[in-house]
Amino acid sequence: MPIIKVKPGQKIKLAKINPADTGAFDDKGQAKKQLKKNIERMAELQNILYAEGRHALLIVLQAMDAGGKDGTIRSIMSGVNPQGVGVTSFKKPTEAELAHDFLWRIHQAVPAQGMIGIFNRSHYEDVLVVRVHNLVPRAIWQTRYDHINNFEKLLSENGVTILKFYLHISQDEQKERFQARLDQPHKRWKFNPADLEERAYWNDYMRAFEVAFEKCSPEYAPWHIVPANNKWYRNLLISETIIKALEELNLKYPKPAEGLDDLVIE
């Protein structure tokens, strides 16, 4: 199964999507070879994106705890120039952030022209965790779907290409990853007992994600559902999607100054 690009208004049932799918690949060997090529191609395209300075790329990563957001960033972005990439992790809002509208902190992290921006979690937390835990009244979070669509439209109309990825893992896979964090000393720092409390809300989160996909996947900012139990397949699919989006921008290096062919450096 390839990556699923959600159509506007499409109803998604995550329980019917196999998170362990690996498409046409029987093992990770062949996929890793292709991923290496993809990372090299992404580096080429990012260099032109940065030099041209006319477009920006925003990559949004959402997943359940231990879904692989950090690992995706480390792998996919391993070949690009760090000067052209910014990563923002959105955690619990600070007092200053809560004193503003929910998109205030998000807008400040939007990548500038020529840049790639990556959101590790995002503005969608305000229709996910906020909804699941009733952090604000229903009448408030229900209006946020429209606010999100309008916000992303604004970005799109100002040269920002938006790619949103949901890293789809199973409950069993999450359990294994939590256990690995407990069992391996160098990973224990990543384990948070509160994650187990969130795990109890799994079905509520699945429903919250499904509604977000249905309401917030316009053509200018579609959601992509990625089978993510197998990290190597996840990385391959996401890298291919990023490459396609960058190639569709028809990026070009700026024209050099005139007379360079006759210039002699002494």
The full 3-state SS of 91-140, as one line of letters, equals CCCCHHHHCCCCCHHHHCCCCCCCCEEEEECCHHHHHCHHHHCCCCCHHH
Q: What is the pLDDT of residue 192?
A: 85
Tally Cβ neighbours within 10 Å of residue 30. Answer: 13
Q: Which two tokens stand for residue 173?
A: 């896979």
Quick check: 43 and 83 in contact, CB under 8 A? no
Beta strands in 171-235 (DSSP E): 223-227
Location of structure tokens 């790639």: 116
Q: Which residues have C-beta within 8 Å of that of residue 34, sequence separation ≥ 6?
A: 236
Q: Which two tokens stand for residue 14?
A: 């995550």
Distances (CA, A) of 20 to 5, 8, 231: 17, 25, 10
Kind of pairing, strands 223-227 and 4-5? antiparallel
Q: What is the DSSP letter of 5?
A: E
Question: How does DSSP assign 17-30, residue by residue?
Answer: S-TT--TT-SSHHH
Instruction: Give the pLDDT of residue 147.
Output: 98
Q: Are the CB atoms for 251 and 49 separated by under 8 Å? A: yes
Q: Tell me the whole-structure pTM to 2 decimals.
A: 0.95
Q: What pLDDT does 139 receive?
A: 97
Count other C-beta atoms under 10 Å from residue 171's C-beta: 13
As averages over each run of 10 residues, the pLDDT of the chain (266 residues) reads 92 97 88 94 97 98 97 95 96 95 98 98 98 96 98 98 98 96 88 89 98 98 98 97 98 88 83
Q: What DSSP designation does 61 have?
A: E
Give the start-to-end residue ranges of the domains of the chain: 4-251
Long-range contacts of residues 150-153, Cβ cutoff 8 Å, at least 24 apart:
151/103, 151/106, 151/107, 151/123, 152/216, 152/218, 152/220, 152/221, 153/218, 153/220, 153/221
Which two structure tokens, joined as six digits, stand for 225? 């559902």
Position 1 scores a pLDDT of 62
CATH architecture of residue range(s) 4-251: 3-Layer(aba) Sandwich (3.40)
User: CA-CA distance, 66 to 11, in Å (whole number)?
Assistant: 25
Evaluate whether 167 touches 63 at the Cβ level (below 8 Å): yes
